[in-house]
Amino acid sequence: MIEGVSLIKKLLERGFNVTPEALELIKGIPSDQLDSLLDSIGQKPVLEYSDIIGFLGEIVEEDKPQAVEEVKEKSVYPEGFEPVKVPEKLGVRGAADEFIELVRKRFEFLRDIVLGKTGMDPIPISNLKASTRRNGDRVLIVGMVLEKRHMRDFSVRLTVDDDTGSIPVVFRKGSRYWERADKIPADSVIAIRGTYINGRIYAESFLLPDIGGDLEMPGSTTGKIVFISDIHIGSKYFNERVFTKFLKWLRSDYARDVRYLVIGGDLVDGVGIYPNQEDELEIADVYKQFELGAHFIEMIPRDIDIVYIPGNHEPVRQAEPQPQLSGEYLDLIKEVRPDIITLPNPSIVSISGVRICMYHGRSLNAISKHIPGLQPVRPETVVESMRWMLRLRHLAPIYGEHPVAPERNDWLLLDIVPHVLHTGHIHVYGVGEYKGVRLINSGTFENETPYIKSLGIEVTVGKVPVLDLRDLSVKIEDFSE
């Protein structure tokens, strides 16, 4: 058996990323058999549970964490469409021990990634603090940031915790990593190198889990994918004129290459989502909102496949990961489009080999609030917020600002690096890139609401990102005029 860190390193050297569930299985494989396993898999960017369990010759149905095959069996997807990571078997008690377990597993997975990059063994924090003889030693620790503070002289002080204890880490004002350290939010998993003096570490550098710059690109394929979100049908502020203009374009010759329409949540405005929402509703009945939604969806050409995940305004559970839309609301849409693909929020799918992570983006509020430099919310800052998801390898890296369910798997963990990350929610479009990953936020079709205005957000209505599958370039189609 090989330890987690060197194992991840070995897999990366062979060109494999690995899901946490697959990693757990691989840890149990004798090291002399690992090479033949990897040889038998051949070329595959991400090793999944199903790849490994087959090799072991065991089927552990009950414990199977990502039953992607089941999802595949249940639905017939268009050719070239595959679920890659889709939350399944959701449902927890929400008990404290479940949250603790979720954080522990996230920490362990991200710690192994960080350590794979340093190639060195960290010192457990309790060992450091146990001996004053270490004064002046250069040390490496890996932990989770409990809190960040500024000292009187503007130095940054992080409290970093591993499973043995916690320690203050100081980035002195003006030191090389000081400004960068100021951006690290709470709950980040981080490796820190520095000098130990009297119960503190004076930091010299740090590393985040981050994605590598070695993302393999999919083979070239044709067609386009249109990304929208935050339509808010039923709201007084829903801009029907602009949305109808968009739908008309979708039916026109200009959109003849479009193969998919991705709807990233908040299709309807819902009811009771926030206090006094009824004052802002044109249609105060969710069923009627979906009736109107189905009317619009019917206008989408049949040869464009629709993929739809919920947001915080859909009538599904609020805690993420959110299950896909179901019941009478889905029935209404299925009447007009029986082939609509509804998936949980978040989900990762592959379209002709292009991995697309769809996440409604509720965590963007917390990210822009807690990481300096991301306010005000504008196209550039939205994209920078999305980069932080990749640097921290998590879709909701900061805890406590919106409900997250402590499921057995951390479905928000970015263990698989997508080619495209799509979010919405913040009502400001943004398009950018990070280490080869295309970042797309799809703006809105809802005019400025009093609530959004109070947040100081200037919404971008009717600006729609379109991804060209040939080269993954993104163009904005503007329907706002």
The site for Fe ion (CB under 5 A) is made up of 230, 266, 311-312, 425
Of all helices (H) and strands (E), which one includes residue 165? strand 165-171
CB of 346 to Fe ion, least distance (A): 13
CB of 257 to Fe ion, least distance (A): 28
- Helices in 252-306 by DSSP H: which ranges? 286-297
CB 46 within 8 A of CB 84: yes
CB of 320 to Fe ion, least distance (A): 11
CB of 452 to Fe ion, least distance (A): 9
Nearer to Fe ion, 188 or 312 (CB): 312
Nearer to Fe ion, 270 or 406 (CB): 270
Looking at residue 202, the DSSP 8-state letter turns out to be E
CB of 230 to Fe ion, least distance (A): 4
- The CB-based long-range contact list for 243-248 (8 Å cut-off, 24+ gap) reads 243/296, 243/445, 243/462, 243/479, 244/296, 245/462, 245/479, 246/445, 246/462, 246/464, 246/477, 246/479, 247/296, 247/299, 247/300
Nearer to Fe ion, 255 or 263 (CB): 263
CB of 458 to Fe ion, least distance (A): 15
Going by their DSSP bridges, the two strands 138-150 and 189-197 should be labelled as antiparallel
Nearer to Fe ion, 311 or 465 (CB): 311
Nearer to Fe ion, 182 or 230 (CB): 230
Number of other CB atoms surrounding residue 204 within 10 Å = 15
CB of 312 to Fe ion, least distance (A): 5
Nearer to Fe ion, 250 or 364 (CB): 364
From the list 262, 253, 243, the residue with the least C-alpha distance to 305 is 262
Number of other CB atoms surrounding residue 285 within 10 Å = 11
- Reduced to 3 states (helix: H, G, I; strand: E, B; else coil), residue 261 is strand
CB of 295 to Fe ion, least distance (A): 20
> Distance (Å, rounded) from C-alpha 154 to C-alpha 145?
18
Nearer to Fe ion, 311 or 430 (CB): 311
450 to 33, 111, 191, 231, 313: CA distances (angstroms):
61, 42, 42, 16, 17
Nearer to Fe ion, 228 or 472 (CB): 228
> Distance (Å, rounded) from C-alpha 195 to C-alpha 208?
19
Going by their DSSP bridges, the two strands 200-207 and 165-171 should be labelled as parallel
